[in-house]
Structure 1
Amino acid sequence: MTQPRAALVSLDATPWYHLVNRCVRRAFLCGTDAVSGQCYEHRRGWIADRLHQLAGVFAIDVAAYAVMSNHYHLVVRVDAQRASEWSDDEVLRRWTTLFTGPLLVQRYRAGAELLPVERRAVAELAATYRERLMDVSWFMRVLNESIARQANAEDGVKGRFWEGRFKSQALLDEAAILSAMAYVDLNPIRAGIAETPETSEHTSVAERIAALGLEATHRVSAEGSEAAPPAATRVPAWCESLPLQPLMPFDATARLPSAIPFSLEDYLELIETTGRCQRPGKRGAIAERVPKLLKRLNMEPEAFIAASTTLLKRFGSAVGTPASLTACCAARQARHLRGMRAAREVFGWRMA
């Protein structure tokens, strides 16, 4: 039975989430449609840019992403503490970069004299917007709506562009975060559209490698394609309206409050090793030298490979160690959460 979003996305349980959204009828979002010959590759850049923009507006950081031909994956962290520290003026400034807002808010931001009752109304609106700016559902709503409007305008059609509501998995602990990030970053390799992490375009791992200068990556340009859309529709108007926020940083020392709790070097080593195992036609096996992160988190290597290919199938609305899933069951007052067997296999290595 479908669960309410409030039960699936609860900051009391975890601020980390794996999110997935698909196009309606799994139609082409990006890439080239083999039937019509139409090229949609440029839309992958729309999503990547919009993600970076919204991360600079919402109190939500993007740790990993992968934009595929008919769906995309995200790993995000909600920073409620950051949102609580914003002043009302800062909240209104951020919200009005995305929406015009009611006339009362416009007058307030323009410096107009307001009555006491009007000021109280503005404060109430700011409180509402603050909640929305740390709400995963609102983040996905703004992201999906802007992409859908632009894609429909480009295709000259109306109606639904995305399937029903996005799928979400709560990431309950560090082992779950690592598994979800690897699952997302290795999506193109698993699908057979990239050979290595650095060539998997429109993924966070390729972006991070490019930022390090280890490998030159590029976005596929539609300008040279005969099926490329007109220039007027290729770049959405909102692409230049907001600055791009960088991806969430790594910090194994835990000194940064809003950082991925691993070393970037160790993470890239794990992704490179696992990526070699996931190439089509090759048996998944990690060599004798087990990556540091798997040792640190007590994760069985071969089971980790399996999890990095079937995370959505083997786990349900939450991912974590057996203890984390048990605690989540109790918090949700549920009898069972799908994935307990997988959790024991992947996260129970060397555990008593």
Structure 2
Amino acid sequence: MSSILSTLPALYQDLLPAFFRKEAPTETKATCSNCAMSRASAQATVESVDGAEHLFRPDTKCCTYYPRLPNYLVGALLSDDSPQMAEGRRRIEAKIESRIGVSPQWVKPPAKFNHLYKNAHQFFGRASSLRCPYYALESGGCTIWAYRESVCSTFFCKYVAGRDGQRFWMSLKTYLTLAEFQLSRHALLQLMPEFLLDGRDKAEVATAPLSVEDLDDAAPPPKAYAALWKGYVGMEKDFYRACYDAVRAVSRDGLERLLGLDGIIEQKVLEKLHTQATAPTLPRVLRFNPDATVKWLPDGSVALGSYSEYDAVALPGEAYALLVEFTGQKPVEAVRQHLRDHKQADLDPDILLELHRHRILIEP
């Protein structure tokens, strides 16, 4: 198995705490190179209960998302002159030259994209108009993968550990998002402190109306852009490279100080969820999840889903009658003994654990 660090950009190798050298959950079900959610490669596809399409387009996969890149990762990408990153550099340079969503702290989605993303319905993986601008359509890969941000580093469509795996990766995203925010602010404090002193690093108002420039995919007015960038207008790429240099100089202890109490708490949560994802235990008492989705298949088997619309468990139809015996009133071992005595059947603890991880069986 690979370490958690190995799943992240190389910049973090000497920066994150020792915990990140622990083994990461291996997500073999999320086969990105051969998209597990496309109709061509999805195994044992089950038509959705609600009749809506949940599979992804092969020309978008899960990349119907526009990443928000912190200044230092942009600088790291611009500083990488390897041939492998040539297309990624070209695209990020074009983005910077457009001035749309370009600030001293982030290279981020246009406001119109965010509006569409937040207000669209059942679009994820299916709307080509929301495809990531860094997506390589020809290869189905990412042109900036080595410098991806927190969301792209931690999203999987399916998890080997089910809900436990999902919770771990979501917690890692929370930790990395905090690190991105604080490290980008640290760089700003070195290079453009007035950006922080003016409060420009605060979260933007989500309900702010779109401007004419937002609607027309145009750059902000020159005066507004100059006020944002101060004396760095025309030197944005140099600024981002300097941000990268500032963050590279941060030590592991320095990052801990930057993250403060929030970082300590988030790491402890992450450690707890890592244990649950990699060393699970079967709860003493379980009950069948009344909110689980049940789909009977033509061959008599049954597909059960709960924690995610993208992941289901298929079982022989006979197993369903056994699962409903788990009512949360008796310990698991007592229910298994009842099944052996009265139904001449049993469910192996490994199967029960898998069903619990997918939240088909839950704790009362």
The TM-score, its normalising length taken from structure 2, stands at 0.27
Which has the greater radius of gyration? Answer: 2
